[in-house]
């Protein structure tokens, strides 16, 4: 384990197994349909690439970048779109792929914005869900894992752009992100 880690929450193998299961379920749910997968940059990119390799349907990609954290360890509550979609989603089956949902503010904002663009369907897939932190209700259609309120990094998740490359998910020591001694 990385020396800045407090504990490993999800091993590389646990993640691989669950991502493959999600891919099979999504393949079945969208059987016979084309799917537009929207990855939320940067955190979801590793999850997204592993997930789509487990989906057997025709897939198209697009990406959005949003910010609600800046360089802080806690959300500002204000969501900004930093990079919007390249193509229209009108009349398309859309799956938003996110790394983690905690307060729900970002996904609530995104689902309202994207719903107004007329997709045939719009669903959310997240690797990690922190329901104890939810401020705004968000319906998650596909969930990898529900986790406690640890500050987590690895497998695409970061703190100040570090730790994304770890193949597992670990709780970061509070002294690293200013959350305690």
The catalytic residue positions are: 102
Q: In Å, what is the CA distance from 15 to each residue of 22, 52, 90, 130, 173?
A: 11, 14, 32, 16, 21
Rounded-to-integer distance, Cα 4 and Cα 88, Å? 42
Q: What is the distance between the alpha carbons of residues 133 and 103, in angstroms, rounded to a whole number?
A: 5
The answer to whether the peptide bond before residue 62 is cis (omega within 30 degrees of 0) is: no
Residue 49 contacts by C-beta under 8 Å, 6 or more apart in sequence?
Answer: none
């Amino acid at each position: 384990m990385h020396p800045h880690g407090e504990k490993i929450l999800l091993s590389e193998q646990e993640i691989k197994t669950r991502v493959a299961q999600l891919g099979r379920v999504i393949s079945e749910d969208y059987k016979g349909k084309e799917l537009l997968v929207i990855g939320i940059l940067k955190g979801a990119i590793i999850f997204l690439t592993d997930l789509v390799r487990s989906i057997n349907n025709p897939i198209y990609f697009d990406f959005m970048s949003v910010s609600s954290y800046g360089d802080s360890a806690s959300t500002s509550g204000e969501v900004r779109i930093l990079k919007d979609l390249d193509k229209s989603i009108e009349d398309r089956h859309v799956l938003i792929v996110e790394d983690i949902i905690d307060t729900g503010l970002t996904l609530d904002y995104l689902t309202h914005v994207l719903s107004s663009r007329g997709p045939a369907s719009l669903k959310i897939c997240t690797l990690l869900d922190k329901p104890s932190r939810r401020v705004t209700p968000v319906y998650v259609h596909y969930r990898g894992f529900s986790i406690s309120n640890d500050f987590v990094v690895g497998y695409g998740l970061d703190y100040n752009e570090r730790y994304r490359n770890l193949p597992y998910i670990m709780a970061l020591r509070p002294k690293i992100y200013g959350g305690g001694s």
